[in-house]
Amino acid sequence: MDDAWKQGMVVWYSRGGVTQSIERDVVKIEPVYAAKKADESVAQQPPPPKPAPEKSLWIYLVGGARFKVDDVNETADGAWYHRGSVSVFVDRERIARIEREEAGSGSARGRDWTSGSEHIDQLIKTNAERVRLDPYLVFLVIEQESHFRVRARSPKGAQGLMQLMPGTARRLGVRRPFDAAENIRGGTQYLRELMDLFDGQVNLVLASYNAGEGAVMKYGRNVPPYRETREYVKKIGKRYGLNGRQPQDDDNVPTPRR
């Protein structure tokens, strides 16, 4: 119809110059707009060119690990990088190079981090998913602990990629601490246990991984006042994007053996 309106309880409409009322109940009156004919001059124009593939910015660390960032500001001492709302400084000696590359290329396809080894990456992903952890958190812990060196050994006796102490490794069933699969399985299991113990508070999980859960309990379920532990929590926590106040490093109490 050309027009329609309601007068009291009666609906009137006009169509082709004829006006009539409708005796049946009307559910609704709804306008329908005809689509405008496209401008032929516009329709004949060629489609705009596709934008060039976006390039991702990656920081490569010494040893092969790398991760994607939003932007980088290099200095003589290192580089500040931004990732989301996080801003972190990386020392120059830890940086191998900074590159832009086509999105989706390289061994980190589908991820924004890589250890530099497809095998290690898959172990991180598989074990993290098995115990319901974020693979990126596991990646950061390994990078901080061992820089992805399978046979890494600390002065305190921690071994392997996630630097398990011998007693912790035995408790977790890790018989070969320098076997990447066993070590990462045990390390992610330990992180899961700490997550459950501290109700998912990542700062306490990181503090416990560094100093032991006993130290966190001793200080009232808080990050202990050990400088090494507080630096550890701050470094990983900032890169992981933890919110809230980070622990201060104004104490110099030696970190106990885990």
Residue 147 has pLDDT above 90, yes or no: yes
Q: Is residue 20 part of a domain?
A: yes
pLDDT at 46: 63
**Are 71 and 102 within one domain?**
yes
Residue 106 has pLDDT above 60, yes or no: no
Average pLDDT over residues 158-183: 96
The Cα 99–Cα 135 span in angstroms is 23
pLDDT at 245: 45
Q: pLDDT tens across 71-94, in order?
A: 999 999 999 988 877 788 889 998
Q: Is residue 70 part of a domain?
A: yes
Confidence category of residue 223, pLDDT binned at 50, 70, 90:
very high
Residue 244 has pLDDT above 90, yes or no: no
**Are 56 and 109 within one domain?**
yes
Residue 225 has pLDDT above 70, yes or no: yes
**Is 231 one of the annotated active-site residues of the chain?**
no
Average pLDDT over residues 113-117: 91
Q: Is residue 11 part of a domain?
A: yes
Average pLDDT over residues 158-174: 96
- Higher pLDDT: 26 or 121? It is 121
Confidence category of residue 217, pLDDT binned at 50, 70, 90:
very high
**Are 24 and 64 within one domain?**
no
Q: Is residue 220 part of a domain?
A: no
Least confident of 48-62, 165-179, 181-195: 48-62
Q: Tell how far CA 101 is from the center of its chain.
A: 20
Question: For residue 142, which of 117, 115, 119, 107 has the smallest C-alpha distance?
Answer: 115
Q: Is residue 85 part of a domain?
A: yes
Confidence category of residue 109, pLDDT binned at 50, 70, 90:
very low
pLDDT at 176: 96
Domain boundary (113, 138, 159) is at 113
- Higher pLDDT: 182 or 254? It is 182
| Percent of the chain residues topping a pLDDT of 90 | 53
Q: Is residue 228 part of a domain?
A: no
pLDDT at 25: 78
Q: Is residue 242 part of a domain?
A: no
Q: Is residue 189 part of a domain?
A: no
pLDDT at 39: 53
Mean pLDDT of the chain, nearest integer: 83
- Higher pLDDT: 171 or 11? It is 171
Which of the residues 145, 182, 213, 228 is marked catalytic?
A: 145
Residue 186 has pLDDT above 60, yes or no: yes
- Higher pLDDT: 89 or 131? It is 131
Q: pLDDT tens across 51-65, in order?
A: 655 678 899 988 788
Residue 231 has pLDDT above 70, yes or no: yes
**Are 7 and 59 within one domain?**
no
| Residues contacting 12, CB < 8 A, separation 6+ | 4, 5, 6, 19, 20, 21, 22
- Angle at the Cα of 220 from the Cα atoms of 218 and 224, rounded to 5 degrees: 65
Structural domain harbouring 94: 52-113
Q: Tell how far CA 165 is from the center of its chain.
A: 27
| Residues contacting 70, CB < 8 A, separation 6+ | 57, 81, 82, 83, 84
Average pLDDT over residues 235-256: 65
Domain boundary (79, 113, 147) is at 113
**Are 97 and 67 within one domain?**
yes
Domain tally, the chain: 2
- Complete DSSP assignment for the chain: --EEEEETTEEEEEETTEEEEE-S--------PPPPPPPHHHHTSPPPPPPPPPEEEEEEETTS-EEEESEEEE-SSEEEEEETTEEEEEEGGGEEEEEEEETT-STTTTSSEE-S-HHHHHHHHHHHHHTT--HHHHHHHHHHHHTT-TT-B-TT--BTTTTB-HHHHHHTT-S-TTSHHHHHHHHHHHHHHHHHHTTT-HHHHHHHHHH-HHHHHHTTSS--SBHHHHHHHHHHHHHHT--SPPPP----BPPPP-
Question: Domain of 56: which CATH number?
Answer: 2.30.30
